[in-house]
Structure 1
Amino acid sequence: MTTAEAETGDTLTEALTEVLSGARARGGLFHRAVLAPPWAVRVQDGAPLSLACMLRGDGWVLHPAAPQPVRIAPGDVVVLCGPTPYVLADDPATEPGLLIQPGDCCTTPDGTDMCEKLALGVRTWGRDADDPTVLLSGNYQLYGDLSTRLLDTLPPVLVLREGEWDAAVLPLVATEVVKDAPGQQLVLDRLLDLLLVSVLRAWFARPQAQPPAWYRAQSDPVVGVALRLLHEHPGHGWTVASLAAEAGVSRAGLARRFTGLVGEPPMTYLARRRIDLAARLLREPDATLASVARRVGYADGFALSTAFKRLRGMSPAAYRAEHGAR
């Protein structure tokens, strides 16, 4: 491997690490479902990201963005981007008999609450513990727990078979899901992050993988330089001209090449990068709006608030009130 190839690999690894570090569950939900055919569950809880794994038996995933139903077997894992509803079933033709609603509520199609009737223990539901199918599911509850770039990275439905990822983590997750111990929610949050990172790392590593445009652009000799600068120094007062000078090309040349490879202009990319970083910093208990603004490249809190509201749809104060500080 040449030095240039090694540096490109390091840059790609750093880019992936940065995106995956945006996954930080808080109050994530895990469930273990024990099922017997015929069964079908429509998940319409609005979660931004969900994972489903087969522990025993098999089933199907039906999602509006998938051209056809996807079969999943023991050890397989599927990642689903919300808030689009989807169906998990024993057969694609089975009509959903249960609906998973916002607020972790399970009902029949006519609205009857089934939570107590189907309770089989800690985070476990079903009718009989000996039924042949066991499905493990977990989801992120808050969009703030996932970077926008991570969500943009993912297809609506991502499936990895047992041999394509480190499925050895599943027994650990399955064991912890049914525990009711002190600090258990924190343990489950970190396991949800571990599960997602394990899946995405394996997904990116596949020979047939099609990583997102910004990821492929890291290896471009011009755009890669600009991206590295924006990642390493997001608070710097970058302009297209100063980035072009660092990359050794004209301003127009960089703007055209960057937009073509990444899918958006350099300054738009930088703005999103800054706001993602600001959202993460705002969850630190001692962070002030002014200090966060300085760290991510805004002159003051007012400028940050304007940009934050434009990209996130809410003010930094509203974001902190909704997501809280760690």
Structure 2
Amino acid sequence: MDALAGLLDGPRARGALLLRMVMEPPWAVRIEDRAPLCLMCVTHGEAWIGHDGGRPVRLRPGDIAVARGPEPYTVSGAPGTPPQALIGHGGTCHTLHGEPLEETMRLGVRTWGNAADGRHTLLVGTYAMEGEVGRRLLDALPPLVHLAADAFTCPVVPLLEDEIGRDEPGQSVFLDRVLDLLLIAVLRAWFSRPEAAAPAWYRAMGDPVVGPALRLLQNDPARPWTVASLASRVGVSRAGLARRFTELVGEPPMTYLTGWRLALAADLLRGTDATVESIARQVGYSGSFALSAAFKRVRGVGPQEYRTGGVGPQGHRAGGGPQGHRTGGVGS
């Protein structure tokens, strides 16, 4: 598993909210859905996107932006345009005064906007990304990633544009996978740029000592690792590995391993029906009691409460996040 695979090995679209947004200026949309991640690509015209208090970024045809939530942001045809629509939790749409807009702005299958022949068109994909492995990805990203068309070329964009308005059997699953491919391509391009502030463990993957150690931990978390056994596998002394690992990653090897195991466990709790006992053994704990104790110590709640919607990391509900293609939402 390489560094980028480590970031992407949990978040996968599952019924993502996908739509084509067609707008005629002047227009502005306020986004307050608290979704963790939203990807936007301008195909015609232009758009401006910015979080509150930040400088808006201009998107031209072919440009792609990734907005990290849950903080609200605004997308518009020009800076300073007052929002005419507000997107709330789950993709609901209404005016700033609360009047519903779902019907008036629905233009067809996964097509939404204020004019069917509007001059500005964006492809929008919104992730729920509830897995805690996804939290590592979110923590690695700035509030807004912007890739200009001349710095990023991906054949997936025309495919998404062609398929997003179709209503074929299995279309939502097909679109989920296309969105995943596009996100991977965007992030791969972004992390290759010098201005991308990748997390310490991501950068450490290139180190000849720490990189192999990280890959061993990530690929085989269930093994009963010790610093000594890890050092033996990578061919250095125990003290040398501990010192270099802590220096480059920012935490000792076993602390990193605990975080990785619990991140994997959190993702399995959300994304599978496996028992806590089974998950515990998959990620390297002796049983459900040991996992529960570690999970509660670090997360503040036990595995079962986390799975069923208890308060998770940073005070967010475990079951929160919008679901795509909902009836009545902007992606319907």
Q: Residue 4 of structure 2: which of 16, 19, 44 is its match?
A: 16
Matched, 1:57 2:45: yes
**CA–CA distance in 1 between the matches of 2:238 and 2:94?**
57
Q: Residue 257 of structure 2: which of 270, 280, 283 is its match?
A: 270
Counterpart in the other structure of 1:239: 226
CA RMSD between the two structures: 2.5
Counterpart in the other structure of 1:73: 60
Render the CA deviation track for 1:215-250: whole Å, top value 9, x for unaligned.
211222332243132123211222344434555656
Label 1:81 to 1:286 Cα distance change in 2 as closer, same or farther (>3 A): closer
Matched, 1:100 2:87: yes
Tell me the SS of whatever aligns to 2:117.
coil
Instruction: Please say which of residues 134-143 and 53-62 is displaced more in the overlay.
Output: 134-143
Question: Higher relative contact order at CA 8 Å, sep ≥6: structure 1 or structure 2?
Answer: 2
Structure 1: state its 5+ residue gaps. Answer: 1-12
Q: Residue 35 of structure 1: which of 23, 33, 44 is its match?
A: 23
Q: Residue 275 of structure 2: which of 274, 278, 288 is its match?
A: 288
Tell me the SS of whatever aligns to 2:177.
helix
Tell me the SS of whatever aligns to 1:147.
helix
Q: Residue 261 of structure 1: which of 248, 252, 271 is its match?
A: 248
Counterpart in the other structure of 1:8: none
Q: CA deviation at 1:281?
A: 3.9
**CA–CA distance in 1 between the matches of 2:94 and 2:57?**
25
Counterpart in the other structure of 1:7: none
**CA–CA distance in 1 between the matches of 2:271 and 2:11?**
15
Tell me the SS of whatever aligns to 1:139.
strand
TM-score, normalised relative to structure 1 = 0.85
Label 1:203 to 1:101 Cα distance change in 2 as closer, same or farther (>3 A): same
**CA–CA distance in 2 between the matches of 1:219 and 1:175?**
38
**CA–CA distance in 2 between the matches of 1:294 and 1:160?**
41
TM-score, normalised relative to structure 2 = 0.84
Counterpart in the other structure of 1:45: 33
Paired letter, 1:90:
G
Contact preservation (8 Å) 1:39, 1:94 = yes
Contact preservation (8 Å) 1:278, 1:293 = yes
Render the CA deviation track for 1:189-215: whole Å, top value 9, x for unaligned.
212211111111122233654432112
Percent identity reads 55
Residues 122-141 of structure 1: matches in 2 within 5 Å? Answer: 122-141=109-128
Tell me the SS of whatever aligns to 2:124.
strand
Label 1:247 to 1:168 Cα distance change in 2 as closer, same or farther (>3 A): closer
Paired letter, 1:287:
A
Q: Tell me how many residue pairs correspond in the alignment.
A: 310
Contact preservation (8 Å) 2:132, 2:264 = no
Paired letter, 1:31:
L
Q: CA deviation at 1:297?
A: 0.9
Label 1:129 to 1:187 Cα distance change in 2 as closer, same or farther (>3 A): same
Q: CA deviation at 1:40?
A: 0.9
Paired letter, 2:6:
E
Matched, 1:156 2:150: no
Q: CA deviation at 1:150?
A: 1.7
Paired letter, 1:49:
L
Instruction: Please say which of residues 195-204 and 311-320 is displaced more in the overlay.
Output: 311-320
